[in-house]
Amino acid sequence: MAKTPDFTKTLQEVMAKFPVDTSSFQDAFKSQTALGEKMAKVALAAAERSTEISSQWAKDTIARMGELTASKEEPAEYAKAVSDFTTAAAEMAAEHMAAFAEVAKKVQMDTVDLMLTAGKDLASDAQKAAEKATRDTQAAVKKATAAATSATAATAKA
């Protein structure tokens, strides 16, 4: 019966000739965590500001409700109070929605800025990694070529 050859030792020798530098993986991980941290800060700042806007809107509405629920002398005053409340509520809605739009606009601008910066950093890191890989590969090829040449010369002498 034929036995399947064991290439384990050969593969280990080949892998030893081409070492892998894991620092690029570590740098990529650090870059990703830094980007994640910055994105989280943007999101948390937006959530905080949105909460402030919502809270202020609720306070303003509750304050207006007090005016609406106060007792009146004349029935027409109730109609006027409802009309005033409705008008004020519409104005408050427009103001607060504009504030929410500003928050969204700021988040969008900050996110685009972060992504552009991350893209530039990524391109720079990729270029550095490619240059290092090229240097390492060329060194490994020279070393392998020298080893093969010396092995061939040794075989020729024998």
What residue spans define the domains of the chain?
Answer: 41-156
Q: What is the pLDDT of residue 86?
A: 93
Write the DSSP string, 88-155.
HHHHHHHHHHHHHHHHHHHHHHHHHHHHHHHHHHHHHHHHHHHHHHHHHHHHHHHHHHHHHHHHHHHH
Q: DSSP state, 3? A: P
Q: What is the mean pLDDT of each run of 10 residues along the chain (158 residues)?
A: 75 74 76 90 96 95 88 89 93 95 95 88 77 82 77 66
Rg of the chain on CA atoms, in Å: 35
Q: What is the pLDDT of residue 147?
A: 72
Q: What is the pLDDT of residue 156?
A: 65
Q: What is the pTM of this model?
A: 0.62
Q: What is the pLDDT of residue 58?
A: 95
Q: What is the pLDDT of residue 39?
A: 94
